[in-house]
Chain A
Amino acid sequence: MKILEKLRNEGRAEDMQALVEHIPYARFLGIEVDRKGSEITTVLPFKPDLVGNTMLPAIHGGVIGAFLEITSVIQLLYDTSCERLPKTVDISIDYLRSGKPLDLYGRAVVTRQGRRVANVRAEIWQEEKAKPVAASHGHFLLTPV
């Protein structure tokens, strides 16, 4: 059975933590979802596997990109009911600061949702939300239920 359908049948359509645990790469990165009411914050606890620059050290740009993408998709799945996982059409990432060897937090906003495509902006930070590490905007293809 498809995972989204399975979660819906179990009455856990809003359980984004259960969803990320079903995505092998998200599980491998160690992504967690913190939900307070309708506010979702994704968490990426630091681990040495995530490092891209051992000299600084800094978190890998690809990990940052993946975290932004997963944060966007989780918000999108929480806001909409989809048959399958949204497909990324494109994503544009601005790297604003190097990621320190600390936990990362992410939030996303669906800026526009059409019938087939959604625009999503996401931002991730570490110690201070006012000092984001990276920001992204992407387009995602939806498969409404």
Chain B
Amino acid sequence: MFEQSLQMLPPHGQAIGMEMVGTEGRVVMVKVPYAEHLVGDPDTGIIHGGVITATLDNASGWAVRCHEQYQEGQSMATLDIRIDYMRPAEPHQDLLVNAECYKLTANIAIVRAQAHQGNLADPIATSVAAFMLGTPNVPREAVE
């Protein structure tokens, strides 16, 4: 299932260097290696919050697919995500994200995720996201 997800690494995931590290039960682990173009504050070299948002969002979506009740091929869309930033990321260190889908119903999936740099007890940011399942996933031209 996840080899397939890896092939589906979205263009923006590739653009920021996102990698799937692996899974453990319902937990999906994702890595973004530190890179200069991801910096948000040139004074400090700290990566931009937007990179953290993109990674949390992406990892959360993968976590839904990792839930045992998820039906392969079911499409989904992010309804909302709330991110709390705990501390600045350390410059020159990789960004890691653990995401877990802790509730999945017929229509909705709820995922929590932590962004960290190796120590889960000292996260950079945490998030909660809700996804709508079974949304249309056919090319726009086909619909219009």
Chain A's closest residue to B126 (CB) is: A90
Also in contact, A60 and B50, with CB within 8 A (given A3-B43, A95-B77): no
In the bound complex, residues from chain B placing their C-beta under 8 Å from that of A56 are: 137-140
**CB proximity of A133 to chain B, nearest CB, Å:** 12
A-B contacts counted at CB < 8 A amount to 140
Q: A23-B48, A89-B84 are in contact. Are A48 and B37 (CB under 8 A)?
A: no
- Separation of A16 and B61 alpha carbons in the complex (Å): 33
Interface string of B96-119 (1 = CB under 8 A from A): 000000000000000000000000
A52-79 vs B, CB cutoff 8 Å, 1 = contact: the mask equals 1111110111110111011000000000
Q: Is the CB of A88 within 8 A of B49?
A: yes
Chain B, interface size: which category?
A: 35 or more
In contact, A66 and B49 (Cβ under 8 angstroms):
yes
Asked if A93 contacts B11 (CB within 8 A), the reply is no
Residues in A whose Cβ lies below 8 Å from that of B48:
23-26, 66
A65 pairs with B38, CB closer than 8 A? no
With A55-B139, A66-B50 in contact, is A60–B58 under 8 Å at CB? yes
Query: Residue B33 at the A interface, CB < 8 A?
Result: no
Interface residues of A (CB under 8 A from B): 2-3, 22-29, 48-57, 59-63, 65-67, 69-70, 84-85, 87-95, 98, 100
A–B Cβ pairs within 8 angstroms, 27 of them: A3-B42, A23-B39, A24-B42, A25-B37, A25-B38, A25-B50, A28-B15, A48-B11, A50-B15, A52-B11, A56-B137, A56-B139, A59-B12, A61-B57, A61-B61, A61-B81, A62-B57, A63-B12, A65-B53, A65-B81, A87-B85, A91-B49, A91-B53, A91-B82, A95-B80, A95-B81, A100-B140
Closest 5 CB pairs of A and B: A62-B54, A66-B50, A65-B53, A25-B48, A60-B12
B residues in contact (CB < 8 Å) with A: 10-13, 15, 36-43, 47-51, 53-58, 61, 77-85, 88, 137-140
